Structure 1
Amino acid sequence: MTTDPKTAPRLIVFSDLDGTLLDHDSYSWAAAKPALAEMKRLGLPLILASSKTAAEIAALRHDLGFDHAPAIVENGAGILAPGAETLADRTDHEAILAALADLPTDLRAPFTGFSDWSVAEVAENTGLPVAQAALAAKRQFSEPGLWHGTEEALVQFEAALREKGITARQGGRYLTLSFGATKADRMTEIIAQYHPRPQTMGLGDAPNDVEMICAADHGVIVRNTHGPGLPVLPGEAAGRITRTHAPGPEGWNIAVLERIAQDVQRTEKG
């Protein structure tokens, strides 16, 4: 994906999906269509960055019209190449399930992951159609799930997994277990392939987006109406990180259009 300096985009947008570009309840991005259209007109890449699987993101990326851009899958565990539909087989997921099986019953029982559910149950728990739920169940690098225990037990659960090299990250919906790579790690890898370095924008709504938001030149916290949201982050006081007033794709659309307008204005002055 090495880019000719003459055609390198001036802005790259890195975006979380659920609760950010996709509506939390309907999974629709309809409210973001104006900004998506403007990005396509200007040739600005959209890098999807989500806990979703490669199979899920490949389908979404195609529907959005950004097949030419790479994507960050399973919370930063891998990068899906432009136009690709899958990643090479890995054993990370099997290792996570083995680590869970080794935990004491009282720590393992409160966590129910996608691998504990049938495809029909994944569909019921996520609100996805069955066909999309089947793609969501094709984990390669991570195991998302729900915690049903106490906060004290969660601390013990996470500590026991850390001893096995596994980290637990809370997203907009699920607690996701993985071997530690973050969306920001992959963001750095992708940016390094562009010359000259473009400006970057990172949008998200949950704790697993914090590193990406903070690493971007322009970070945006999308309003989360289904959880506590994010605390004040370094960079907000200076205006490098902002917050949307509208939730989900509506807030995403406004923020991206505003950033594009500011970028165009800055370019014209320069």
Structure 2
Amino acid sequence: MRKAELIVFTDLDGTLLDHETYSHAAAAPALQRLRDRGIPVILASSKTAAEIAALRAEIGLSAYPAIVENGAGILPAHADSAGAAPDYARIRAALDRVPPELRRHFTGFGDMTDAGVAHSTGLPLDQARLARQRSYSEPGEWAGSDTERAAFEKCLADEGITARYGGRYLTLSLGGTKADRMDEIAAAYGNPPRIALGDAPNDLEMLLAADMPVLIRNPHAKPLPPLPEKQAGRILKSTKTGPSGWNEMIHSLLSKAQSRQIGA
């Protein structure tokens, strides 16, 4: 891959995609400006490879890899799927070895039907089907106590599996975050300065790993946790929401970058 002048990493729901309509239309001018300058745009989401592949093609970003399943894996450029899924098979096998009195409290996507995932997530049935095509991680509903969850997580940790609780789902993986995957992908493009855009606390690791972190305003999202003043001061904030805010901030950052080049 040729060295890029900049690289953009972006969350999807509530950031590049509108919270209500899931449209990215309002970001089209900024996306075109990035396209004209050959700046890679890397989608980074909790969505599966199957979900992101179709969306990436729709936006016109299939030439670039994408970060899937909250950083548990990478969807290669131009690929429709992540291929074989040994990580997922390992996670499911480890679940089978958890004591039944703990295992019964966890209902993963692999334990549900497509209709069950649609009911749990609120996704349409066709999208729920794609959400179940997992390669690297297993989200699920937890119905036990905090004490039981700690014991459940300890059983999985002994198998090398990490668990992260995101509010609605307890997600199991072999580790890896969006920030880890950012390092891998940025290195392939010559480690250019990084712009990262997100809207919620689960994007924080990605934002803090960027040179230009951008928080897109989302009145539906939880606020970021308290940060040291130096870190908090680095995070830029949009005035508009969703793809309108995305468009606003990308234009602003590209214009500032161009001004610095002219003044150099």
2:235: which partner in 1?
241
Q: TM-score, normalised by structure 1?
A: 0.85
Q: State the one-letter code of the partner of 2:235.
A: I
2:216: which partner in 1?
222
State the shift of 1:224 in Å.
Answer: 4.4
Q: State the one-letter code of the partner of 1:72.
A: I
Equivalent residue for 2:121, pick from 118, 126, 144: 126
1:179: which partner in 2?
174
| CA distance in structure 2 between the partners assigned to 1:253 and 1:171 by the alignment | 27
Equivalent residue for 2:258, pick from 249, 254, 264: 264
Unaligned runs of 5+ in 1: none
State whether structure 2 residue 65 is matched by structure 1 residue 65: no
Paired residues of 1:55 and 1:135 also in contact (CA < 8 A): yes
State whether structure 2 residue 215 is matched by structure 1 residue 210: no
Equivalent residue for 1:136, pick from 126, 131, 138: 131
CA 1:226/1:155 → structure 2, altered by over 3 Å: closer, same or farther?
farther
State whether structure 2 residue 48 is matched by structure 1 residue 50: no
Q: How many residues align?
A: 264
CA 1:93/1:237 → structure 2, altered by over 3 Å: closer, same or farther?
closer
| CA distance in structure 2 between the partners assigned to 1:46 and 1:69 by the alignment | 7
| CA distance in structure 1 between the partners assigned to 2:238 and 2:104 by the alignment | 37
| CA distance in structure 2 between the partners assigned to 1:114 and 1:27 by the alignment | 23
Instruction: After superposition, give the CA deviation of every residue in 1:213-248 in whole Å (9 maximum; x if it has no partner).
Output: 111111123344444332133575573223344443
| CA distance in structure 1 between the partners assigned to 2:244 and 2:74 by the alignment | 27
State the shift of 1:94 in Å.
Answer: 1.9
CA RMSD of aligned residues (A): 2.6
| CA distance in structure 1 between the partners assigned to 2:254 and 2:170 by the alignment | 33
1:201: which partner in 2?
195
Identity of aligned residues (%): 53
2:237 alignment partner, SS class: strand
Moved more, 150-159 or 23-32: 150-159
Paired residues of 1:112 and 1:147 also in contact (CA < 8 A): yes
State whether structure 2 residue 95 is matched by structure 1 residue 100: yes
Equivalent residue for 1:115, pick from 96, 107, 110: 110
| CA distance in structure 2 between the partners assigned to 1:225 and 1:107 by the alignment | 36
State the shift of 1:107 in Å.
Answer: 3.5
Paired residues of 1:170 and 1:206 also in contact (CA < 8 A): no
